[in-house]
């Protein structure tokens, strides 16, 4: 009986791989920007699983670009250093002392953990920040927030150079300013959206701690146009912390990203479910261009 069960498992695995072939072919050469963050960053098993998914994406011919956050790690070090951290409208107030900690944590500890996890799974990853080669140049997003940046200039050739060489870029959302010696903390979703838009990526995947965008009845909406998203914001169906995420997705689509998806990063193999199955995962926002076939992702 055990052998029969094992045979069924192997057959299911082989069938899954066979069914994924059209999607692998569809995404050959595609640029996919993945925003990674949340609880998975503090869990070694979840980190390794995410890294395997990214390496698999590269192995089948895709060009993944990982952009990460690191809020819990920043909070931890600020607390240890006895540096007070306040938030306004969900964004961290970032003074000079805080931005130094942010850069230390994001460009150092967090970035290199993700790089190492990808390399441990057989990939080739290189960690950079938005300061490298002036990838992201920012201006202050809001005077009340201090050194919190909004990207105003993107120079993504360094990313193209890396993925064209078979290397997976891992980007920390720390950016340079327009004036000398300025450093800005950039929201991870904002950074991912700006990078995806500048690269004209095929997909922007925003991994979150929720299942996706929900309608008035609490059901996840699997596909939306920009117009539908704006209507849901206006009616209050989309509210709270989901608003900045969908606004990032909308901006990316407006900037030339083929589709942006908000999906639950807590689900095992979430990126692969979205990219390599017809059902997909989470909530997709894309323009009204016709699809090749119904529900085609």
DSSP 124-183: -EEEEETTGGG-EEEEES-GGGBSBEEEEEE-THHHHHHHHTT-EEEEESEEEESSTT-E
Look up the domain containing 143 and give its range: 27-286
In this prediction, residue 254 carries a pLDDT of 94
* Residues 279, 55: Cα–Cα separation, whole Å: 22
In this prediction, residue 296 carries a pLDDT of 46
| CA dist 138 → 131, 176, 178, 268, 290 (Å) | 10, 6, 6, 35, 35
In this prediction, residue 291 carries a pLDDT of 41
Q: Max alpha carbon distance in the chain (Å)? A: 70
Query: In this structure, is residue 147 part of a structural domain?
Result: yes
User: What would the pLDDT profile of 63-83 be if each residue is shown by its tens digit?
Assistant: 999 999 998 899 999 999 999
Helix, strand, coil percent values for the chain (each to nearest 5):
45, 25, 30
Residue where the block lists tokens 């990032």: 248
* Residues 226, 228: Cα–Cα separation, whole Å: 5
CATH number at residue 238: 3.40.1160.10
**pTM of this structure:** 0.89
* Residues 131, 135: Cα–Cα separation, whole Å: 6
Domain count, the chain: 1
Query: In this structure, is residue 250 part of a structural domain?
Result: yes
User: What would the pLDDT profile of 80-122 be if each residue is shown by its tens digit?
Assistant: 999 988 888 777 889 999 999 999 999 999 999 999 999 999 9
Query: In this structure, is residue 141 part of a structural domain?
Result: yes
User: What would the pLDDT profile of 181-232 be if each residue is shown by its tens digit?
Assistant: 899 999 999 999 999 999 999 999 999 888 889 988 888 999 999 999 999 9
Query: In this structure, is residue 96 part of a structural domain?
Result: yes
Query: In this structure, is residue 294 part of a structural domain?
Result: no
Query: In this structure, is residue 10 part of a structural domain?
Result: no
């Amino acid at each position: 009986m055990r052998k029969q069960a094992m045979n069924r498992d192997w057959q299911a695995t082989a069938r899954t791989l066979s069914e994924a072939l059209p999607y692998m072919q569809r995404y050959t050469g595609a640029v996919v920007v993945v925003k990674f963050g949340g609880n998975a960053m503090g869990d070694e098993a979840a980190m390794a699983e995410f890294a395997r998914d990214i390496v698999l994406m590269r192995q089948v011919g895709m060009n993944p670009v990982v952009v990460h956050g690191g809020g819990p790690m920043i909070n931890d070090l600020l607390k240890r250093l006895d540096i007070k951290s306040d938030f306004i409208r969900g964004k961290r107030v970032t003074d000079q002392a805080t931005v130094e900690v942010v850069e230390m944590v994001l460009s150092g500890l967090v970035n290199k953990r993700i790089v190492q996890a990808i390399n441990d799974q057989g990939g080739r990853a290189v960690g950079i920040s938005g300061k490298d080669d002036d990838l992201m140049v920012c201006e202050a997003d809001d005077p009340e927030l201090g050194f919190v940046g909004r990207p105003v200039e993107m120079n993504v050739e360094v990313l193209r150079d890396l993925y064209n060489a078979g290397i997976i870029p891992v980007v920390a959302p720390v950016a340079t300013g327009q004036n000398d010696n300025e450093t800005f903390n950039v929201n991870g979703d904002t950074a991912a959206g700006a990078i995806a838009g500048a690269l004209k990526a095929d997909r922007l995947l925003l991994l979150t701690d929720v299942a996706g965008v929900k309608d008035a009845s609490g059901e996840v909406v699997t596909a939306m146009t920009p117009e539908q998203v704006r209507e849901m914001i206006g009616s209050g169906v989309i509210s709270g912390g989901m608003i900045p995420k969908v606004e990032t997705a909308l901006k990316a689509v407006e900037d030339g990203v083929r589709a942006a998806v908000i999906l639950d990063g807590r689900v095992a193999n979430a990126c692969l479910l979205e990219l390599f199955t017809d059902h997909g995962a989470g909530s997709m926002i894309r323009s009204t261009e016709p699809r090749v076939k119904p529900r085609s992702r």
